[in-house]
Amino acid sequence: MTRLTETFEKTRREKRAALIGYITAGDPDLERSFEIIDAACDAGLDVLELGVPFSDPTADGPVIQRASSRAIKAGMTLEKGIEFVKRLRQKYELPIILFSYFNPIFAMGTERFVHAASIAGADGMLVVDLPSENANEIMRHVQKPNELHFIRLISPTTDLVRRNEILCQSDGFVYVVSRRGVTGGGSGNKIDWNALKQEVSEMRRETSVPLCIGFGISSPEDVRAAGSIADGVIIGSAFQRRVEENPDTAKQTIAEYVRQLRAR
């Protein structure tokens, strides 16, 4: 049984959604970033999405774009992100998903990436711009089933045929994109909670893999709404906004925010 499977079984027993936090590695600088991530894990994240910055983060809104830019300027790379995983694994057993784009992985070499991520203790990867159909570009190097999960995304524009194909191929969890547009709560694209609830209900009839909602989840109301219909709630820009606004006190601010989210 993998760490992801164990985590979702635990949260289901506790009758709550898993709290999944995206944090950009390297923002505002490498060491403070690690301290912030460490504090978030210690405060009660169920799953960590460790964001490896890329110069052209097409799926991300302005907040994470700026975080990625700061992290790149600070010297963050995919290799250093994997080193973060290794350091965190010495202390924590929570699942860690490497969140990035295909370009840094291709530049590193897909086989080398898989080997390094596995050795470091990563549980999976979410490659935003690598379609589900092309997952084998990376997964052919994975030695054992479920050694590394390839997290797939389903968006409001995914048609029913392709959605079924993605669900049949999925493991770990499925990232259900809540609305059109990029990450962050201020894009102007509102979440249609009734439509999203119906979509999640339909997908539950097609798969037993956990379904987790992300994109635009920031307010207490969003967290409660998503948590009432999904197996996990994914929050990203709300974390990075706090880092951006208070880099010197972000460690404490993020830890308190995680505790507040857990309480909700």
pLDDT in tens, 144-172: 877 899 999 999 999 999 999 999 999 99
CATH code for position 224: 3.20.20.70
pLDDT in tens, 64-119: 999 999 999 999 999 999 999 999 999 999 999 999 999 999 999 999 999 999 99
Task: Note if 192 is an active site residue.
Answer: no
Q: What is the pLDDT of residue 159?
A: 94
pLDDT in tens, 23-54: 999 999 999 999 999 999 999 999 999 999 99
pLDDT at 188 over 70: no
Residue 256 structural domain: 3-263
pLDDT at 6 over 90: yes
- Across the chain, what does the average pLDDT equal? 93
How many structural domains compose the chain?
A: 1
Q: What is the pLDDT of residue 203?
A: 97
Look up residue 107 and give its two tokens.
């530049």
Q: What is the pLDDT of residue 209?
A: 97
Which among 49, 171, 199, 231 is annotated as catalytic? 49
Task: Note if 42 is an active site residue.
Answer: no
Q: What is the pLDDT of residue 183?
A: 58
pLDDT at 248 over 70: yes
Which among 27, 60, 171, 231 is annotated as catalytic? 60
User: What are phi and psi for residue 133, nearest 5 degrees?
Assistant: -65, -20
